[in-house]
Structure 1
Amino acid sequence: MISVPAEATGRLSDAWRACVGTGRIELALRRDYQDSLALLQREIGFRYIRGHGLLSDGMGVYRPYAYEGARRVHHSFTYVDQVVDAYLGLHVRPFLELGFMPTELASGDQTVFWWRGNVTPPRSYDEWARLVRATLTHLVDRYGIEEVRTWPIEVWNEPNLTDFWQGADEAEYHRLYEVTARTVKDVDASLQVGGPAISPGADEWLLRFAEFAERREVPVDFVSRHAYTSGPARPVPFGAYQTLAPARRLLDQFARPREQLKGTRYTELPVHITEFNSSYRPDNPIHDTAFHAAYLAPVLAAGGDHADSFSYWTFSDMFEESGVPTALFHGGFGLLTHRQVKKPTYHLYAFMARMGEELLERGDDHLVTRHPDGRVTVLAWAPVDETGRTPGPDRHTLRLSVPVGRRPRGAAFVRRSTVDEEHGNAWTAWRHMGGPRSPRPHQIDLLHEAAEPARSHLRLPVEDFRADLGLTLARHEVTLVELSPVEDETPPWWDERRLLGSPVEPR
């Protein structure tokens, strides 16, 4: 029996919902994207959203033309305005990523993704600076400087990888960063700019980035990196399988920037993990499973100890880096599939959104918080075997003595919401259906139904201001338990024995 303290040990960090990732941001022009984001915001409520492609050709910002024998450039923000308006209308702010390179400004033709984001340096850094200045000036003019000052501005994406930056040329990235950061500060000195948005396995890049920035006196307001735990991909048609490291390795990666920068002038800078997930592949079936929710539960519970934000990559399967998805469930990154079918990891986030602000207890398999009105919330998860050598335990038990209410005796109302292999798991239902690639309307309805958590309620006695809560979790289960003191208003004449009209003797 674990005795949960009656007094708070601190406040629960909400770094887990500071930001969420998205497919290229021009997808925000689509109705189904906005419908998915609206659902996410109603039930979870992220503060920022980050995605690639702000300056790529699909957004139509950089528009060179010839006039009177001279080459000129027009900057068009038609789509930018629509995207940002959609975000702000859904109460989420943009975490701006400056990239990729417009084709007409690029020095080469190397691209990444199905939608061909150009990853080469600008052929003119002066024109790049004018593009950055025009974009930020427009945003300030349209949304106001006080608003735009709250939007972090990240320079590029994973420049340490040759797929994302031509030749993974570190010196060239430093040049791009310096020109960009100084331009950002020319627009307004209070705008937040940072990087280097490196992928896992490139720790040395951050140290050299810090040395470069200090030597050149280049502005850096935050540092950013990404975190994943999957091994090499074993491809199959339209998918991949990968090994996974223990989830605590994500926490190690979250903590790494502060460890590296300790003792430097950047020690106190905010740390933003601008992408994280288990697999870095958008076609790994692990993303769709109950295992995935249980695997990530301890990361959401403790990640705020190490980073100011850690952004789940991504909120929706509306994501086309490898092409248009070939089936409703295809191992996409999203918390939601197309058609807004919730995955188990979506419910992990929704459960976290119902946790309280006061942190009472945190363990290897549980998190306990309290709300200002006295409600106590418990998030619990079954351990997983990420090696795949065993299926994981069929049952996992947890017993807690929970502080409830302000009366020595009474009762607590208990509500439990459960996601596991069979409950809150549309992926399981879809597999039972035979994995239809394009489910028919009635099948979509069934999947939405199957995606809802199992819910139950009961009443527990309270003795000495405490309720004993015993939980038995199924394989890969994540469960949310909410306890609130009962204020009994049952009238004195209520008697269940008389429901069918039979006279009974007084109690």
Structure 2
Amino acid sequence: MDTTRKLMQFHFIAQAETATHYHQNPEMFYVLRGNLDIKIDDKMYKMQSGDIVLINANKRHTVIGNEELLGARFEIDFHLLAEYMGSMQLLFWCNTVADRNHAYSNLRRLLDRILTRYFEKDDKSALYLNALYFETLYVLTSNFLVKADDVRLNLEDSQDRMRIRQIQNYVQANYQSQISLNDLADRLYLSNAYLSKYIKKNLGMTFMEYLNNVRLFHAVDELMYSDKNLTHIAYDNGFPTSASFTKAFREIYNESPSEYRKKIQDEKEKDEKEKMLQQEEEQRILEYLKFRAHKENPQSTRKKEYIINAGNVKDTLTDCSKAISIGDGYLLLQSEAQHQVEKIQKQTGVKYARIWNILSREYCFSEKEGYNFRRLDQVLDFLLDHHMKPYLEVGSKPSLFMYTPERSINIEKSKMDSYDFKTFSEIIRELCVHLVNRYGVEELETWYFEYWNDPSLNITEPDGEYYQRFDLLYQTMKNYSEEISVGGAGFILGYETLVCKKIFPIWKAREIHPDFLSVCSFQYIALVEEGGRLGRKSIDSEYMLNQIEIMKNVMEETGFQIPEFHIDEWNFTISNRNVLNDSCEQGAYILKNCIEMNGAVDMMAYWHALDLYSDYYDTDTVLNGDSGLISRDGICKPSFYAFQFMNRLLPKVLEKNDHAIVTTNGRNRYVIACHNYKSLSSRYVFTDEDEIQLEDIEQYVEDIDPIKLNFTIQNVKDGKYLVKIYRVNRECGSVQDLWKNLDYSKGLMRDEVDYLKSSAIPGIEMKTIEVENGELCLTNNLEMQEIRLIDVQYRYDV
């Protein structure tokens, strides 16, 4: 590795204006003041103060700044970074104009520190600056790197991905040699014609174009950083002649290699002659950085002080988080599933249960016998008898369980029904008549009817069949009552947001609009690049809130305003074999998001309620990494207690912040739910979910520090208060850690399972405190990923 090259370097910019161009190294623009317009390919981004946009390697772009512009341009050595990362497939999605991510705050602070270091001339500045560069790239690669071979939520055969990697690896290893399409075809046991079409389809270019692209990538490095003549550069990078090198280079860069080298050398000479910024500009930058430091001044993450006025009610606690997704509705025909759902309802106050495949051929319909909704009635009756309202997904949704987003098993293929439109029309009419006659119109007005965005129904096309089917369901239900809620279409946040810019105008132009818009959230994001969709896991600690804001912005931009907004499925992972699902991390994640999303959406149905949903051949242990609130054996997990804590909150909200929500009934009682949630780390981003080991859980979070939360509630009634504290952490309430004490043994005996059931409960502490001068002070020390409920009640004397 060339240690003389800089991994990053930066330049201050003012009144920037460059013609359309592109180059090998990625550039990151950071606006301090003024405005900067950046056009990347055919998309324009208007940057303002605080905005950051990263332009990937070899992307055509134009930069235009106004007269007030003050900013910085950071250049990243792509080749050097690729060596560090061990991959040439590097692509970033870092754009504050079009994206929301909590990590942008960290990135801004790092960039500000780099800019500040510019003015510090001590001997250690260069060393410290390099440390900041590495930390900046760590944040970038952890939060904004999109791997070209990481196509999230794409359930197609993995054989294609494997073959693409084989092609890429072969070319990267042999580009300096005189390889041909025939050589690669022989290696892959494919015909030339088939492989040629395959490469064109999947890489968007011919084999020779791709090969030359790789060769030029390396050749440009030598043009910039070596004194080799052009002939040697051509031969060393696989070009048969200098003429072929010049021809390929000109096709991409619109100039000859010698012209390009001279231009780069001229720029270097100009940079060398460039003097320090004028005193006036230097003062502007220092004033800006001082303003930023004063504005942000982040508090210590180890201690938080909250002063709360008992008489100042800021909000009302909503029921938005009191919904669960169960999955296939006929799972509820099992007595074990019924028992567990009943327990969830009683202790967490769940009001809505979302189910699908209600029109399964196995239970409802056959070509010979027609319609029979008896089994569906049993499912619906169970929900209603246990004080839950049905949230019915009417479409044919596959029941999968997933090891990783790339590796799934369809365990219910026989129940995946797709009716033709004629049959669908008949069964919907029969269903609606049956439900109205059995349950009554007034009851149905309290339910939700959803129709999922099945990819085969072409929702992106104006005449897509999805709209015909949705309109049919909508009109049929509305014939009985306009108050019956019908919506859709289960778009994937962060993954299908961009396509919604096309869908919403289509839906808006139609006569019928949904009563609610539904989306699902699994903490992945995607970037559409050159016709392909690339994805990655997101470790944004405010992912759901940020992605909801982005989706609502799309709705506003397209004028597609819908009365209600639902998250019909949500979790930090789509995997059913991720050990973090069983851990204290999941409890903290759920409590954090339920607090954060209160009031931001109308409903959010957690995915999913029961581990029984993905019971399979590999579920021979007490815990298997599924996201259910209750294990297969009926053991409550930390996630269960997170919902239980939310259910015990009081209706009036006095305070909501990053770590807690403080509620009251207005009658001298206060209930606080708080957490010490830790964000996932970059190691999680680059690890397949099902490969995380129980022993290594702590290595997948950014830090493991405890936190002290001090609450001072002012203007309360003087006297004695009973304080009850319920806590779930690795010492109490965590079945995963209790199982660890049993050596993670398989095939536990009944009494051992019973021990886990009775022991996996929150720890409880009680104490009495005396309040004087109207101030109630509560101090809580929370371990990493701990959740806690604090119930404070005034004690009346005789």
TM > 0.5 fold call: yes
Q: Structure 2 matches for 1:22-61, cutoff 5 A? A: 22-58=326-362, 60-61=363-364
- Aligned partners of 2:630 and 2:637 also within 8 Å: yes
Q: Which runs of 4+ in 1 moved over 6 A?
A: 166-169, 321-324
Report the CA distance shift for 1:268/1:167 in structure 2 as closer, same or farther (over 3 A).
closer
Q: Secondary structure at the match of 1:262?
A: helix
Counterpart of 2:383 (choices 87, 90, 93) is 87
C-alpha separation in 2, matches of 1:266 and 1:168: 15
Q: Secondary structure at the match of 2:674?
A: strand
Q: Structure 2 matches for 1:137-176, cutoff 5 A? A: 137-156=433-452, 158-160=453-455, 165=456, 171-176=464-469
Structure 1 residue 405, shift from structure 2 partner: 4.5
1:400 to 2:694 alignment: no
Structure 1 residue 166, shift from structure 2 partner: 7.3
Q: Secondary structure at the match of 2:467?
A: helix
Report the CA distance shift for 1:101/1:373 in structure 2 as closer, same or farther (over 3 A).
closer
Q: Secondary structure at the match of 1:475?
A: coil
- Counterpart for residue 12 of structure 1: 317
C-alpha separation in 1, matches of 2:617 and 2:320: 31
C-alpha separation in 2, matches of 1:28 and 1:340: 15
Q: Structure 2 matches for 1:428-439, cutoff 5 A? A: 428-439=737-748
- Counterpart for residue 301 of structure 1: 595
C-alpha separation in 2, matches of 1:342 and 1:321: 16
Q: Secondary structure at the match of 1:23?
A: strand
C-alpha separation in 2, matches of 1:308 and 1:464: 40
Structure 1 residue 323, shift from structure 2 partner: 6.4
Structure 1 residue 101, shift from structure 2 partner: 7.9
Report the CA distance shift for 1:426/1:262 in structure 2 as closer, same or farther (over 3 A).
same
C-alpha separation in 2, matches of 1:214 and 1:169: 13
- Aligned partners of 1:198 and 1:205 also within 8 Å: no
- Aligned partners of 2:449 and 2:487 also within 8 Å: yes
Report the CA distance shift for 1:46/1:383 in structure 2 as closer, same or farther (over 3 A).
closer
- Counterpart for residue 369 of structure 1: 663
Report the CA distance shift for 1:169/1:115 in structure 2 as closer, same or farther (over 3 A).
farther
1:461 to 2:773 alignment: no
Q: Structure 2 matches for 1:64-463, cutoff 5 A? A: 64-65=367-368, 74-100=370-396, 113-116=410-413, 121-123=418-420, 125-156=421-452, 158-160=453-455, 165=456, 171-200=464-493, 201-229=495-523, 245-262=539-556, 266-320=560-614, 325-387=619-681, 388=699, 392-403=703-714, 405-407=716-718, 410-463=719-772
Structure 1 residue 23, shift from structure 2 partner: 2.7
Q: Secondary structure at the match of 2:436?
A: helix
Counterpart code for 1:129: S
Structure 1 residue 190, shift from structure 2 partner: 3.3
Percent same amino acid at aligned positions?
22
C-alpha separation in 1, matches of 2:586 and 2:432: 38
Residue deviations 1:418-452 (CA, integer Å, cap 9, x gap): 00112100111112212233421111111112210
- Counterpart for residue 188 of structure 2: none
Residue deviations 1:274-296 (CA, integer Å, cap 9, x gap): 00011111121111000111123
- Aligned partners of 1:417 and 1:479 also within 8 Å: yes
Once superposed, what is the RMSD of the aligned Cα atoms? Answer: 2.6
Aligned pairs, number: 455
Structure 1 residue 319, shift from structure 2 partner: 0.2
- Structure 2: gaps spanning 5 or more residues: 1-304, 399-407, 527-535, 682-698
Report the CA distance shift for 1:79/1:324 in structure 2 as closer, same or farther (over 3 A).
farther
Structure showing greater Rg: 2
Q: Secondary structure at the match of 1:334?
A: coil
C-alpha separation in 1, matches of 2:616 and 2:477: 32
Report the CA distance shift for 1:464/1:117 in structure 2 as closer, same or farther (over 3 A).
farther
- Aligned partners of 1:101 and 1:121 also within 8 Å: no
Higher relative CO (CA 8 A, sep ≥ 6), structure 1 or 2?
1
Q: Secondary structure at the match of 1:153?
A: strand
Q: Secondary structure at the match of 1:21?
A: strand
Q: Secondary structure at the match of 2:680?
A: coil
- Aligned partners of 1:247 and 1:299 also within 8 Å: no
Q: Secondary structure at the match of 1:461?
A: strand
TM-score by length of 2: 0.54
Residue deviations 1:93-123 (CA, integer Å, cap 9, x gap): 1101012189xxxxxxxx9821115667533
Greater fraction helix: 2
Counterpart code for 2:781: T
Structure 1 residue 404, shift from structure 2 partner: 7.2
Residue deviations 1:196-227 (CA, integer Å, cap 9, x gap): 11123101343433322332212411111100
Counterpart code for 2:465: E
Counterpart code for 2:709: L
C-alpha separation in 1, matches of 2:639 and 2:523: 16
TM-score by length of 1: 0.83
Deviates more, 1:167-176 or 1:180-189: 167-176
Counterpart code for 1:220: P
Q: Secondary structure at the match of 1:15?
A: coil
